[in-house]
Amino acid sequence: MEYTRLGNTGLEVSSLCLGCMSYGEPDHGSHPWTLTEEQSRPFIRKAIELGINFFDTANVYSDGTSEEILGRAIRDYAARDDVVIATKVNGRMKPGPNGAGLSRKAIFSEIDASLKRLSTDYVDLYQIHRFDYHTPIEETLEALHDVVKAGKARYLGASSMYAWQFSKMLAVSQANGWTRFVSMQNHLNLLYREEEREMLPLCKSEGIGVVPWSPLARGRLTRAWSEQSERSQTDEFGKGLYTRNTEDADKRVVEAVAKIAQDREVPRAQIALAWLISKSEISAPIIGATKLHHLDDAVAALRIRLTAAEIQALEISYIPHSVVGFS
């Protein structure tokens, strides 16, 4: 395993982050394709054995059961101080007023609930799960700063939003002397590269670590264009990320991945991940794993160095996409 600093911080994280959205009780929330706790634990254990020390979840994943599963597995398989746990806040956790969002009330309530589910006194990275249009930025940022000062979080991160929004939040934090965001968790892969226009340059300029989600485009980059998985058929959020408007171009990208993978005699997932890892702005892609070989493929991708010609072949068919994933 390779390790890197998260942005301009001294925090060392593995160059791969295990995303835990796939781990949660299927009858909780809107992810019927998730693995139960018994099914999930071998993946977390193997990730630790492979040297992965970075784990990402969120309060809304399977109504909090993802956090519970991760917390118990970390307790059993690792020393707490040896791992980096990231979770998120914003999504709706209960009906009625103050059951979602980034108000001071919601943040204070949700950090305590997450810590309880994770069976820990602190999270290493506390991230806002999208931008909140209904709460003043100052209220959110001061509340997050207070969470850090209370010792409940070590660092702060953000997730998908417009670059102007993130830039404004960074400026407000700096102006008030509040704890600054150190990472951006955004949507980036060979089928969705809109983040290259503004967000990646902003993060590079500001020393922000980038931990992209869906690096394999919900598996589309790992299989034949016409092939579907159980998740692709039931993942309502995922269905909105890739549309028919760019289907022809997307298909050519998938075919380019397949050709390079065939030439190198490696799985397609390794090529798609190697392309993302080759970007200097990237700290650690967030990988999903529902088969144990997914973890092996991800680690193997760290050793692949694509040539300039291969990168060009992977990128040449891309066309602009509608901005998605911000809500």
- Dihedral of the CA atoms 46, 1, 155, 94 (nearest 10)? -30
The residues near 97 (Cβ < 8 Å, ≥ 6 apart) are none
Task: Judge whether residue 234 has pLDDT over 60.
Answer: no
Domains of the chain, by residue range, sit at 3-315
What pTM value is reported for the model? 0.92
Strand ranges of the sheet holding 84-89, from the earlier edge strand across to the other edge? 209-210, 181-185, 153-159, 123-128, 84-89, 54-56, 17-19, 286-287
Residue 44's pLDDT band, with cuts at 50, 70 and 90, is very high
Residue 327's pLDDT band, with cuts at 50, 70 and 90, is confident
Mean pLDDT score, 14-35:
90
Q: How far is CA 280 from CA 53, 196, 210, in A?
A: 21, 12, 10
Is residue 76 within a helix (H) or strand (E), and if so which, with residue range?
helix 65-77
Residue pair 66/296 in contact (Cβ under 8 Å)? The answer is no
Please return the burial class of 195, using the count of CB atoms within 10 Å of its CB with bins 0-12, 13-18 and 19+.
buried
Task: Judge whether residue 228 has pLDDT over 80.
Answer: no
Q: Three-class SS of residue 214?
A: coil
| Residue of 61, 126, 155, 192 with catalytic role | 61
Task: Judge whether residue 237 has pLDDT over 80.
Answer: no
Tell me, what's the pLDDT at 198? 97
- Residue 179 is classified by DSSP as P
Query: Strand pairing partners for 21?
Result: none
Residue 183's pLDDT band, with cuts at 50, 70 and 90, is very high
Q: Which residue has the tokens 């010609």?
A: 309
Tell me, what's the pLDDT at 115? 98
Tell me, what's the pLDDT at 225? 78
Residue 11's pLDDT band, with cuts at 50, 70 and 90, is very high
61 has catalytic annotation: yes
Q: Which residue has the tokens 């890197």?
A: 4
Task: Judge whether residue 102 has pLDDT over 90.
Answer: yes
Distance in angstroms (rounded) separating the CA atoms of residues 286 and 83: 15
Q: How far is CA 252 from CA 196, 218, 296, 310, in A?
A: 20, 17, 26, 14
Task: Judge whether residue 233 has pLDDT over 70.
Answer: no
Q: Return the CATH architecture of domain 3-315.
A: Alpha-Beta Barrel (3.20)
Q: How far is CA 303 from CA 22, 141, 277, 306, in A?
A: 25, 39, 10, 10
Residue 269's pLDDT band, with cuts at 50, 70 and 90, is very high
